[in-house]
A and B are shown apart, each in its own frame.
Chain A
Amino acid sequence: MVVPTKMLGMPLVARISERSPGLFNISLSVILFLFASVAFAQPDGEKLFKGNCASCHKPDKDMTGPALKGAVARWEGKGDIHAWVKNSSAYLKTGNPYATELFNKWNKSVMTAQALSDEEIDAILAYADAYVPPVPKGPDPTTVTPEGEGSNWPWLVVIALLLLVVGLSLSGVKRSLSNAVREAEGKEPEPDMSFGQRLRNWAWHNKAAASILGLFIVVFLILKMWDAAWVIGVYGGDEVPHYKPEQPILFNHTLHAGKADKGNLAINCQYCHSSAEKSKHAGIPSTNVCMNCHSAVNEGRTPEGTKEIAKIYAAVGWDGKAYTGKPEPVKWVKVHNLPDHAYFNHQQHVSVGKLECQECHGPIDEKMDVAEQWAPLTMGWCIDCHNTKDVKMAGNGYYDEIMARLEETDMGHAELKKYLDDEKISVKELGGWECAKCHY
């Protein structure tokens, strides 16, 4: 239907009546009917609640303000809830005793005036009254990660030993059988010797084989010891089980920092470890950072989670509404222990090197309910990355300065050309392998 331009500003009813006055009466009744069924239909209480109320009220629990569930019943016969919601401070001035009581009970905090109609307020309160807490979305944190596969070799050894036992008992059976045969043939039975005696006997008669076997065993053991020596004091990487200490509060990294499409909260690592780009240390968040969210979240997805959140409250001194001023330190266990003779700085690697946290700390946002030492933190691991990784030079003030200095002189130019032989500039080429870069 094309509406003439002059009619655009008019109300719909007026437009229809102008076009066909004869139809007006019928239209009016139809429109009134539609109006009654459509426009007076419930406004979307849930949407209105989330848009206007949810930052301070929960349907079923007290937060900044009281739970809205049952608010209608609580106000019944005590005052005008609509006027209260629309402008609480104006309503307070009327001296309504219940309003004054509420105002005092909630620490005299003024509720923001709401530009809502009576119907919308009714819809919101109806939504709150009918509210049923949703079943939490997302993966069950208790089943997110299967237990890390432990190393298999102790079991292989056990199986080998069992096979040896079976073999030896079989050889015992064979010996008694052959003795029985010899007895039947009228010969002397073989002398009964212990395992050690027979081994020595065999070695004496097969000197070459025994020497070669002995050599193999010695070389094998030395190699094993050599490998073992490499991982002394190494608690991460592919070679050894990762150091994964139990923390005083069982914080779940995957739940907090994991991907949103997997039902996790997708909080940036640096929200909590905010000093990673400003200081040597990535920083363990003090409990006030936990409380930025957990003052409003006091229930975990599991009963265990709720217990862990209660530990934060105990540490920060929070009674559910206010701080008691009696905090207790949380004794987090340090996971990554770099010896004092090696210098490492997070700021350099995060701000200048533009590394992602996961490049050194592993898939901490995907499958680490409990934080563990993922990288070996050996010197070999450090300098390997300094040798192979391409430095992100573009748009980086620190490297702009280095490039400018290199391009100042002919010698610098020659150096730069040498660096670019393999079409990339590594940290090593910029001096990252000098001892004093990390040891001073």
Chain B
Amino acid sequence: MSTSKRNPAITISALALVVLSMASCGGDPNSPGVEYMPDMYRSPAVEAYVDYGQDPYHFSEELAQGQRNTQSAKLPPVGTIAFAADASKAQFNMPYTYPNTVEGYEAAGLELKNPIAMTEATVEQGKVIYAKFCQHCHGEKGEGDGAVVTNGNYPQPPSYTAALKDLPEGKIFHSLVYGKNLAMGSHASQLNKEERWLVTRYVQYLQNGGKMQREMAAVVPATPAAAPATN
């Protein structure tokens, strides 16, 4: 038993410090915290979006060094074609052959045809894709008045009901694959070929002013607004 007189204020201040430091430990937004029993937290099998170079649990330092900065999102090997369980969808896994040139664009406009029929169901499916991938720039009705244009001061895309009214389906598809000009990038990494054809159907539906008829792509060989085929 100590007989020395201690100022209680010192004890209390020390306690307060401990409490505060504990509180700050738990509140660091940059810390994912201490792993409690990490054995089952980390997958020894390779999972997406994990940098195995940072995994201290399953690899030796030498191996970890080799794994460091390996990308987890990769392109399929060149020249491979994905397997389609449904044979009717196999055509959508075939490569796109038109080159990313003015000539390729014109040729696609003349030759390329949509393998998906224009029905209420496909227009509806296309609308869902359009709302996710196109609407923020091209606008709900395709008039080029999406929020990115109006709020973001983005270059305005031409309207489907005016300048692009007669754009053939092949050119719509080509622009989805390679992008158009600087303002529209390629959407090939986000939409597979089937989805691109579906959304092309919905764009045509908008070109027709919200109607399904006017299968115009076959009738209009080249648009007046289009660039000349060769120069």
Contact = CB atoms under 8 A, between A and B. Distances in A.
A265 B163 contact: no
A334 interface: yes
Interface in B60-86: 69, 71, 73
Residue of B36, B136, B191 with most chain A CB atoms under a 10 A cut-off: B136
Contact of B32 (A64, A240, A243): A243
Interface string A76-96: 000000000000010010000
Interface in B1-47: 2-6, 8-9, 12-13, 15-16, 19-20, 23, 26-27, 29-33, 35-36, 40-43, 47
Interface stretch (B90-98, B110-118, B179-187, B199-207): B179-187
Say which size band chain A's interface belongs to: 35 or more
Nearest to B228: A89
A58 interface: yes
Contact of A136 (B47, B148, B153): B153
B221 interface: no
Nearest to A87: B228
B122 to A, nearest CB: 16
Given A54-B156, A112-B225, A151 B27 contact: yes
B151 A51 contact: no
B187 A292 contact: yes
Given A113-B228, A235-B33, A340-B40, A161 B27 contact: no
A172 B155 CA distance: 76
B154 interface: yes
A317 to B, nearest CB: 14
B48 interface: yes
Contacts of B190: 271, 274, 289
Interface of B: 2-6, 8-9, 12-13, 15-16, 19-20, 23, 26-27, 29-33, 35-36, 40-43, 47-51, 69, 71, 73, 102, 131-133, 135-137, 144, 146-148, 150-159, 162-163, 179-187, 189-191, 224-228, 231
The 3 closest A-B pairs by CB, nearest first: A292-B185, A260-B147, A244-B29
A165 B49 contact: no
B29 to A, nearest CB: 4
Interface stretch (A35-43, A206-214, A280-288): A280-288
Given A110-B228, A274-B190, A64 B182 contact: yes
A267 B73 contact: no
Nearest to A63: B182
A138 B48 CA distance: 36
B136 A268 contact: yes
Interface of A: 50-52, 54-58, 63-64, 89, 92, 110-115, 134, 136-138, 150-151, 153-154, 157-158, 161, 164-165, 168-169, 192, 194-196, 232-233, 235, 240-246, 260, 263-268, 270-271, 274, 280-281, 283-284, 286, 288-289, 291-293, 295-297, 329, 331-332, 334, 337, 339-341, 372
Contact of B6 (A136, A194, A291): A194
7 contacts: A58-B155, A89-B231, A157-B16, A164-B12, A194-B2, A241-B27, A265-B136
B interface: dominant SS: loop
Contact of A297 (B16, B152, B226): B152
A260 B151 contact: yes
Contact of B136 (A51, A271, A283): A271
B151 A263 contact: yes
Contact of A154 (B19, B36, B179): B19
Given A241-B29, A268-B136, A274-B190, A284 B151 contact: no
A266 B136 contact: yes
Contacts of B137: 293
A50 B135 contact: no
A242 B29 contact: yes
A66 to B, nearest CB: 12
B8 A168 contact: yes
Contacts of B151: 137-138, 260, 263-266
A266 B48 contact: no
A270 B135 CA distance: 12
